[in-house]
Amino acid sequence: MRSILFLAPYPFGVAPSQRYRFEQYLKILSNNGYVCDFDSFFDYRTWDVLYIKGSFKLKLVGTLRGIIRRLWLLRNIRKYTWVFIHREAIPFGPPWYEWILVKIFKKKIVYDFDDSLWIKQVSNANLWACVIKPTTKISNICSISMKVCAGNPYLAAYAKQYNNRVCVIPTTIDTENTHTLIKQHQADREVVVGWTGSHSTLPYLSLVAEAIGSLEKSYPIKFLVICNEIPKLNLNSLVYKQWNKETEIQDLLKIDIGIMPLTETEWAEGKCGLKALQYMALGIPALVSSVGVNKQIVEHEIDGYFCNSKEEWIMYIERLIKKPELRGCMGKKGREKVVNNYSVESNSQAFISLFEDAIAI
């Protein structure tokens, strides 16, 4: 029997990183004869307070429960052929748990990551984690893993310093079951410029705040922010929508022009372009900073635009405000690109091959 244990930091179905990296492949693996089990470090109770400032006692208790669950798992670990670890088995401290899996239980580990995790980048709500997470942790996990699955070439280049069995599988969109609808761009309605993300990426909106502020003086636009935290932006056009998994697609379809601003930093280089991919999959043109993998996902003036200054954000958003037919054309091309290159279907065989003895590098 081919069995896989999936270890991840967060509960099933709540974290974008997990949902778009591996959770949507579990059914495909099952259909191909694999038995898959999933276990998260944090439970749902802890997830609810994890990124709220304070709540130290609740986080501490949730962390202790997570450690106990991880230790309890070792009782039956021998039944699994592979252990797939997303980001890290325990989200702090050295990789002692991964070491036990490999060195004592002789497990084959597939290690998957989609951020520059070797850099300390922790929210203000969890500064304690930054202190007790060694910078060598990710390199150590890479070195003892059977295979490493990186979300983009930049991350793969880092992993190849420590492991020669590295492949790139992009963050993917399920265009057959979730992102199935296509945005219908109309001329006779208010244009919505939109952004979706989590509290950790909210600071990037400061890069476009002035541009949106200028545009809202000339056009009857709305600036829709879909997030788990209310943004602190002084914009008259701002509309906030609490992120909700159940309404995610319908909320995204309210957007006419999707944006993904980033700063040119080592951390941003590790980003896997999920925002842009979500917009494009739904037929929404993506305007992005030309940083990291964004330069591969978006083709300038074909399915989106590169914007690296206030003037460029204003110019390209304004162009799309005025030309709904251009939004539709770009959206169509973006959808085609996602289906062909960044969809679950187009990457399913590569994902399945992670759990075979050979690997396409």
359 pLDDT higher than 60: no
C-alpha–C-alpha distance, residues 273 and 270, integer Å: 9
Arch. (CATH architecture) of 2-172+344-355: 3-Layer(aba) Sandwich (3.40)
CB count within 10 Å of CB 131 equals 9
Which pLDDT belongs to residue 53?
A: 81
Which pLDDT belongs to residue 186?
A: 86
C-alpha–C-alpha distance, residues 209 and 215, integer Å: 10
123 pLDDT higher than 70: no
Which pLDDT belongs to residue 132?
A: 61
The kind and range of the H/E element at 134 are none
Indicate the SS3 state at residue 149. Answer: strand
Question: In the predicted model, what is the mean pLDDT of residues 240-262?
Answer: 96
Which pLDDT belongs to residue 347?
A: 98
pLDDT tier at 129, thresholds 50, 70, 90: low
Mean per-residue pLDDT over the chain, rounded: 94
Question: In the predicted model, what is the mean pLDDT of residues 178-204?
Answer: 92
Which pLDDT belongs to residue 361?
A: 44
CB count within 10 Å of CB 217 equals 10
217 pLDDT higher than 50: yes
Question: In the predicted model, what is the mean pLDDT of residues 216-228?
Answer: 96
Which pLDDT belongs to residue 311?
A: 98
What is the chain's Cα-based Rg? 21
Where in the chain do CATH 3.40.50.2000 domains reside?
Answer: 2-172+344-355, 192-341
131 pLDDT higher than 70: no
Which pLDDT belongs to residue 200?
A: 87
DSSP letters for 30-62 = HHTTEEEEEEESS-HHHHHHHTSS--HHHHHHH
In degrees and rounded to multiples of 5, residue 314 shows phi and psi of -65, -45
Encoded tokens for 260: 């993904």
Indicate the SS3 state at residue 206. Answer: helix
Encoded tokens for 180: 């199935």
Which pLDDT belongs to residue 178?
A: 95
Least confident interval from 117-126, 148-157, 270-279:
117-126
120 pLDDT higher than 80: no
Residue range 48-71, pLDDT digits in tens: 999 888 888 999 999 999 999 999
360 pLDDT higher than 50: no
Question: In the predicted model, what is the mean pLDDT of residues 155-172?
Answer: 98
CATH of 192-341, one of 3.40.50.2000, 3.40.50.2300, 3.40.190.10, 3.30.300.30: 3.40.50.2000
78 pLDDT higher than 90: yes
Pick the closest to residue 203 from 257, 267, 118 (CA basis). Answer: 267
